[in-house]
Amino acid sequence: MGYRVVVAGATGNVGREMLNILAERQFPVDEVAALASRKSLGTEVSFGDKTLKTQDLDTFDFTGWDMALFAVGSDATKTYAPKAAAAGCVVIDNSSLYRYEPDIPLIVPEVNPDAIDAYSNRNIIANPNCSTAQMVVALKPLHDRARIKRVVVSTYQSVSGAGKEGIDELWDQTKGMYVPGQEVAPSKFQKQIAFNVIPHIDVFMEDGTTKEEWKMVAETKKIVDPSIKVTATCVRVPVFVGHSEAINIEFEDFLDEDEARDILREAPGIMVVDKRESGGYVTPVECVGEYATYISRIRQDSTIENGLNLWCVSDNLRKGAALNAVQIAELLGNRVLKKG
């Protein structure tokens, strides 16, 4: 006997990826419902070798369904997630709405699987921000060995993190640079994204950080350890899929780069590609469609005591969103619901 699973937001980039990954990983399902807003009603989406017609999120009855993967944004989640949870369907939410609620677990299965037990507080589990997810997968095994004091991270985030509109804007703007009369002004992004980088993701906060940067700080503390100090600079770059991060880590104890490399090679969810030669590292283009978080450029930082630098790359639509949600569903099934 398998699970009855709902995917809400099934026509979006992340929702479609959730369906792909559920099928790829042969998640034990008896039935899958693809939900969308009324304007997308009846749109067909793929689930393995099957085709599903989307149903109306607004009128859907969650009674009798085991779990619902939500990829609909905070506003819609605020309306529909409590309805699903009240009907006994466990919500795994990809939006930022519930991430910072103290009684709702925020989970990266490789990092804090034991937090799954708190799902029963409200029948809701939060999925972290894409840039946080890949970083904490790399931080946790190193933290277990040498205790991290401080992290300085600069991100290079792809336009798919801003949804289909972000992908379309980069595509259209790039074409418009070469075709007179087809220039495209910024719309989804604050400035031109083609052949440019923008140090601004989400809204600005009073202290000058952006909400994206704040998310990385708050989520790392909740998922890994509240004592870790984090400072982030988040940058949108003209890449379609795949987030990259340059991470500087200061530890309480000395950690040799070779030992760090060995630890990361053995850590779940990580692939180390770190050859000190031309091309001996991973770039976003190479991580697209992959499950792993890739780590390269591991080296000592001689400017501080007990410091390391590393380069971290992952498919943001997968580990940063859909894959992590499906892994949470697998964890929930294996440890709590125990069907399939």
User: Which residue do the tokens 């369906």 mark?
Assistant: 19
Neighbours of 8 (CB within 10 A): 30
Residue 284 labelled as part of a binding site? no
Catalytic site residues?
Answer: 130, 243
Query: Measured between alpha carbons, how far is 28 from 171 in angstroms, rounded to an integer?
Result: 37
Residue 316 labelled as part of a binding site? yes
Chain centre distance of CA 310? 19
Residue 306 labelled as part of a binding site? no
Chain centre distance of CA 127? 7
Residue 91 labelled as part of a binding site? no
Residue 160 labelled as part of a binding site? yes
Neighbours of 219 (CB within 10 A): 24
pLDDT of residue 39: 86
DSSP 318: I
DSSP 194: T
pLDDT of residue 247: 99
Residue 109 labelled as part of a binding site? no
pLDDT tens digits, the chain, 340 residues: what are they? 799 999 999 999 999 999 999 999 999 999 999 999 988 888 999 999 999 999 999 999 999 999 999 999 999 999 999 999 999 999 999 999 999 999 999 999 999 999 999 999 999 999 999 999 999 999 999 999 999 999 999 999 999 999 999 999 999 999 999 998 999 999 999 999 999 999 999 999 999 999 999 999 999 999 999 999 999 999 999 999 999 999 999 999 999 999 999 999 999 999 999 999 999 999 999 999 999 999 999 999 999 999 999 999 999 999 999 999 999 999 999 999 887 6
Nearest CA among 164, 168, 235, 226 for reference residue 197: 235
Neighbours of 81 (CB within 10 A): 26
- Contact 247/138 with Cβ under 8 angstroms? yes
| Residue 171 phi, psi dihedral angles, 5° rounding | -60, -50
Q: Which residues contact 207 (CB under 8 A, 6 or more apart)?
A: none
State both tokens at 170: 């980069």
User: Which residue do the tokens 């075709």 mark?
Assistant: 179
Residue 236 labelled as part of a binding site? yes
pLDDT of residue 42: 83
- Contact 253/150 with Cβ under 8 angstroms? no
- Contact 309/297 with Cβ under 8 angstroms? yes
Residue 13 labelled as part of a binding site? yes
pLDDT of residue 340: 60
Q: Which residues contact 332 (CB under 8 A, 6 or more apart)?
A: 67, 90, 92, 116, 119, 125
